[in-house]
Structure 1
């Protein structure tokens, strides 16, 4: 091994200092880099609509009731939608003279999330009642199709 001269020691120290300074300078430059830019994105949220259905068994006679099942379809492939408070109303019957006022329908709220693209998701239940009005001939409702309109707020 060669003996280090004073001149070699000074050169080695200067080289080491240059390496440290160079490395430190690179780190300093890295952390103080500046720049600017911009970007944008479009919200993919759907319209927040679902299709609601009310189904119940037939054969309803005055004084009877049927359980109503409420379901929902969400055709939006991107966003789930929450069904809040359900509203239901008997809006028509298929036979003239079979009055919608003779029927009552309820809808229990479920606050259910309907997944994106889902069909047939249960969102609640209720009861359809055919009120027995003894003083009124309700035989016109035999074979009638009762339509329930359901909504959500």
Structure 2
């Protein structure tokens, strides 16, 4: 074997260092891994119910109608969608001779987004409109409804 000159030794050492570095780099290039994982978090749902309100003018008499405005109050920290259900009429207990069937009530409105509560209070929105009518029953006394408190209730679908 032939002896290396000083210059040759330097080249050989440099080539060895380069080969080791390249081999190490190649090892990194061929490393691979497999694995899996998952994560979970619970979605926050409102814990308080959204409250629906029906507002209409007083003074309904047989044969008359009045407009009804439906609103919703949302005390929760996230917005929610409300779609009105079928409204019903009830009469206060002191006026038992006033038949709720003498009243017709409607509710219309699509799905309405009711905003989340803020520091200032619950979020609110108008969610629909309708009509409340006291049917005129000719020949039937409806005096039992004089002074009665008529309540319109509605739920959300």
Q: CA deviation at 1:119?
A: 3.3
CA RMSD of aligned residues (A): 2.5
In the other structure, the counterpart of 1:76 is 76
Alignment of 1:113-124 (within 5 A): 113-117=113-117, 118-124=122-128
Task: Work out whether residues 73 and 121 of structure 1, in 8 Å CA contact, stay in contact via their aligned partners in 2.
Answer: yes
Q: CA offsets per residue over residues 114-151 of structure 1, 9 Å max, x none? A: 23324331111111011111211223322221011111
Which secondary structure does the structure 2 equivalent of 1:13 belong to? helix
User: Does the residue aligned with 1:60 lie in a helix, a strand or coil?
Assistant: coil
Residue 47 (structure 1) shift: 5.6
Q: Which residue of 2 aligns with 1:15?
A: 17
For the residues of structure 2 that align with 1:61 and 1:148, how far apart are their CA atoms?
A: 16
Give the deviation of 1:56 after TM superposition.
0.7
User: Per-residue CA shift, 1:50-92, capped at 9, x if unaligned?
Assistant: 2111111112121111111111122222x33222242101122
Q: Where do 5+ consecutive residues of structure 1 fail to align?
A: none
Matched, 1:133 2:137: yes
* Aligned-partner Cα distance in 2 for 1:74–1:27: 57
Q: 1: distance between equivalents of 2:83 and 2:47?
A: 15
**Corresponding residue of 2:3:** none
The answer for the alignment partner of 1:102 in structure 2 is 102
Once residues 6 and 96 of structure 1 are traced to their aligned partners in structure 2, the CA distance between those partners, rounded to angstroms, is 117
Distance 1:48 1:84 in 2: 17
Given that 1:87 and 1:151 are in contact with CA atoms closer than 8 Å, whether structure 2 keeps it comes out as: yes
TM-score under structure 2 normalisation? 0.78
Aligned residues: 147
Q: For the residues of structure 2 that align with 1:106 and 1:33, how far apart are their CA atoms?
A: 64
1:33 Cα offset (Å) = 4.4
